[in-house]
Amino acid sequence: MRRRSSCTPLYALLLLLAALLPLAPARSVIADEARTGTSFGALEVVLAFLEAHDPSYVAEDAVWQHMWQPEPLHGREAVAAMLRDFYEDGFADSHFEVHKLVADGNKVVGEGVLYGTHTGDFMGMPATGRSIELPIIAIFVVEDGSITEGRLYYDVGTMLAQLGMMEEP
């Protein structure tokens, strides 16, 4: 009994080491996936972007479209300007609440609701002080750790009605 008891800490240590060692390569695999843009890596990139609205996650030559607009934005700088217009100028307190994320290969779909208060000029409209609650779904394509395509689907009439710019449907 005494001999068995003295070995228990050693077994526990071995178990702990054995359990931890294979996790280290597992982490590096995830990091590799993030770079190559398979599902998990793509998901990580999109989640980080949605959290921070940081244009550095957007590829330099990305194509980005709000689907109610006839033409897409081209390039990181154009996307960065759009993000600034919305999140810093027009709707300073806004946030996107993610309800569902679907990843398949290097494509990620994010569905959620955008909340915000119209506190500054936006699309040529002066601040109204009104709140918006806008359901949005967006699809992102991720390549080499950056978002190369983004398409956002929502009903612009819903937003304009909430801002008092047009009649409620």
Partner 1 sequence: MRFILWLAALALSAALARGITPPDATAGHGAEALAVFLAYSVGHDPSYFAEDATFHVMAEEEPVVGREAIAETLDHFYNDAFSAAVGVSRNLLVSGNVVVLEAIFHGINTSDFMGMPATGRQVSVPMMMIYEIEGGLIQRLRLYMDFATMLRQLGHLE
Q: Which residues contact 60 (CB under 8 A, 6 or more apart)?
A: 75, 76, 146
Hey, CA dihedral for 86, 91, 92, 98, is it positive or negative? negative
Interaction residues for partner 1, span 4-63 (CB under 8 A): 11, 14-15, 18-23, 26, 30, 33, 38-41, 43
How many other CB atoms are there within 10 angstroms of residue 36's CB atom?
A: 14
The three-class DSSP label of residue 31 is helix
Beta carbons of 73 and 63 less than 8 angstroms apart: yes
Total residues binding partner 1 (CB under 8 A): 39
137 contributes a contact to partner 1 by CB under 8 A: yes
Site for partner 1 in 78-117 (CB under 8 A): 100, 102-105, 107, 109, 111
Only one of the segments 47-55, 73-81, 84-92, 134-142 lies at the binding site for partner 1 (rule: CB under 8 A); that segment is 134-142
The residues that touch partner 1, with contacts defined as CB under 8 A, are 11, 14-15, 18-23, 26, 30, 33, 38-41, 43, 67-68, 100, 102-105, 107, 109, 111, 135-137, 139, 151, 153-158, 169
